[in-house]
Amino acid sequence: MTRPNAQPVASHFIDGAYVEDATGAPIPVIYPATGEVIATVHAATPAIIEQAIASAERAQTAWAATDPTERGRILRRAADLMRERNHGLSQLETLDTGKPLQETLVADATSGADALEYFGGLAADVTGQTMQFGGDWAYTIRRPLGVCVGIGAWNYPTQIACWKGAPALATGNAMVFKPSEATPLCALKVAEILSEAGLPAGLFNVVQGAGEAGAALTQDPRVAKVSLTGSVPTGRRVYAAAAGQMKHVTMELGGKSPFIVFADADLENAVSGAINANFYSSGQVCSNGTRVFVHADLHDAFVARLCERLSGMVMGDPLDEATNFGPMATADQRDIVLRHLATARSEGATIAAGGDAVDGDGFWLSPTVLTNLTDDMTCVREEIFGPVMSVLRFEQEDEVIARANDTQFGLSAGVFTSDLTRAHRVVGQLRAGSCWINQYNLTPPGLPFGGSRQSGIGRENARMAMDHFTEVQSIYVGMTPVEAAY
Ligand code: NDP
């Protein structure tokens, strides 16, 4: 196996330097393609958590007072370093997650760099309002929140660290970031690069650990905000813990998003969209369009062409750039998906493609297409978070809108049609934070991203993310003498 020589040198990154505390519980880092242990990190002890929060708190006041143009310049320098080192960082992301290098080269460090560059450019443009009240007037300023905590899922470790870190830092906050214990390496490289780009010590600290470390950070009274990317059950726990101290939250949670293909859609384009919406990153994408509603007139042709196109899938060594389909990130996740497939079979689903684990080392599953489904089946209702597409038939526009909205989630949705009016009419009725028309899962940093209903609260990316990392202070200016009753 090719090993990048860029592995982080210790478990945590605090106050501008790598820090080790081997008394923390060991966490093996497993390469999902082979099951091999490629590194070991240690979970944060209470002393490490204390160091991380204390150093963030110390650093934040001076950072908030730093000229925002300078804050932005540091973020943009970090973006340049990430792009220069994209190849090594992508290899590390592949080792951390199992995602093929073909994907990580274009979707991870590059997407992190886009966020750093975007928010770096906006840092000096955080503005307030002025209001006139007769002779008196008022103005508002946006103030940073202070120490913010970022908690990440395991599917996009570099991107999540940057999507949270960049807007937090651009607006004058400090961040303590805890990656998923399944993918602990990449966020450390983000911290290292930010530091090399000139970020003062303490402003972006990374600590390792499982849920307990996240919970300890969430409950610390010095923390003003928690931004979580994770599942709905974890979101509920973290939101509840944050509410106890009235902390700000952003919750980027799970989904079971509808992907609607009307009869007038371009078939090849819709199949391409559905492949990306279900099998990219082996299906481990929160916003995936996993309930694929296809108009009855197109259904059979769609399924046939989809299964044909799956023969172009190349499963193999993820570090080989020819590979375009990787393993599940963890053995646990593979087992969860296999249990879902067993349930789907027992509830009467037809397996039109895939449906099995792949023999050998590592956590491999074949891309799976399920048909002959009804909306009440478990595979149609629950997030599977693996390469499993459920294809459903529909007849009428109103019917498909109602069925698409019949879910507790509300993260994303896609509509494929050549009827422009219908496309806008339909997305206008879908209860989903992010919708795509004739495209899927593109998330440029200038477009807000996030969910409604159980899929989350708040938005990442765009100016909105900066609003979520600041709070408004209103200042009333009296211009005339105060009139008092006595
Ligand atoms: P989890 O909810 O299991 O974990 C998310 C993070 O929260 C991990 O770092 C986890 O630590 C941590 N955590 C767990 N319990 C607590 C707690 N009580 N307090 C604080 N932190 C805690 O999600 P997964 O990592 O399994 O990721 C998959 C989920 O993430 C899917 O539901 C997916 O849809 C969602 N997701 C949402 C995205 C979005 O933007 N909307 C994007 C990507 C994924 P550890 O895992 O180390 O125990």
Quick: pLDDT tens for 346-393.
999 999 999 999 988 999 999 999 999 999 999 999 999 999 999 999
The continuous run of DSSP H or E covering 16 comes out as none
5 has pLDDT over 70: no
What mean pLDDT do residues 296-325 have?
A: 97
Closest CA to 335 of 304, 297, 372, 364: 364
319-335 residue pLDDT tens? 999 999 999 999 999 99
Ligand 1 contact, 386 CB (< 6 A):
no
Cα dihedral value 390, 394, 399, 402, nearest 10: 10
Closest CA to 273 of 451, 73, 435, 428: 435
Give me the percent of the chain exceeding a pLDDT of 70.
99
Nearest protein CA to atom 16 of ligand 1, as residue: 211
Catalytic entry in 164, 178, 189, 247: 164
Catalytic entry in 286, 379, 383, 435: 286
Q: What angle do CA 183, 189, 194 make, to 5 degrees?
A: 135
Ligand 1 contact, 218 CB (< 6 A):
yes
* Ligand 1 atom at minimal distance to the Cα of residue 209: 47
465-482 residue pLDDT tens? 999 999 999 999 999 999
2 has pLDDT over 50: no
The Å distance, Cα 13 to ligand 1 centre, comes to 21
Of the residues 111, 180, 452, 468, which should be mutated to test ligand 1's pocket, given the most ligand atoms within 8 Å of the CB? 180
Q: Identify the DSSP state of 386.
A: S
259 has pLDDT over 90: yes
Ligand 1 contact, 154 CB (< 6 A):
yes
What mean pLDDT do residues 258-262 have?
A: 98
- pTM (global) more than 0.85: yes
* Ligand 1 atom at minimal distance to the Cα of residue 333: 26
Cα dihedral value 437, 434, 409, 212, nearest 10: 140
Give me the percent of the chain exceeding a pLDDT of 90.
98
> What is the model's pLDDT at position 1?
33
Q: What angle do CA 207, 162, 433 make, to 5 degrees?
A: 115
> What is the model's pLDDT at position 7?
82
256 has pLDDT over 70: yes
Strand 17-19 versus strand 12-14 pairing type: antiparallel
Contacts of 242 (CB under 8 A, 6+ apart): 218, 226, 248, 249
Ligand 1 contact, 181 CB (< 6 A):
yes
> What is the model's pLDDT at position 360?
87
Of the residues 208, 234, 334, 441, which should be mutated to test ligand 1's pocket, given the most ligand atoms within 8 Å of the CB? 234
Ligand 1 contact, 234 CB (< 6 A):
yes
Res. 6 pLDDT band, cuts 50 70 90 = low
Ligand 1 contact, 458 CB (< 6 A):
no
The Å distance, Cα 124 to ligand 1 centre, comes to 32
Q: What CA–CA distance (Å, rounded) separates 145 from 93?
A: 30
Residues 160 and 166: beta-carbon distance below 8 Å = no
> What is the model's pLDDT at position 98?
98
Q: What CA–CA distance (Å, rounded) separates 307 from 65?
A: 57
Strand 291-295 versus strand 258-261 pairing type: parallel
Closest CA to 403 of 430, 372, 442: 430
User: How high does pLDDT run on average in the chain?
Assistant: 97
144-174 residue pLDDT tens? 999 999 999 999 999 999 999 999 999 999 9
Of the residues 229, 236, 332, which should be mutated to test ligand 1's pocket, given the most ligand atoms within 8 Å of the CB? 229
What mean pLDDT do residues 410-419 have?
A: 98
The Å distance, Cα 211 to ligand 1 centre, comes to 9
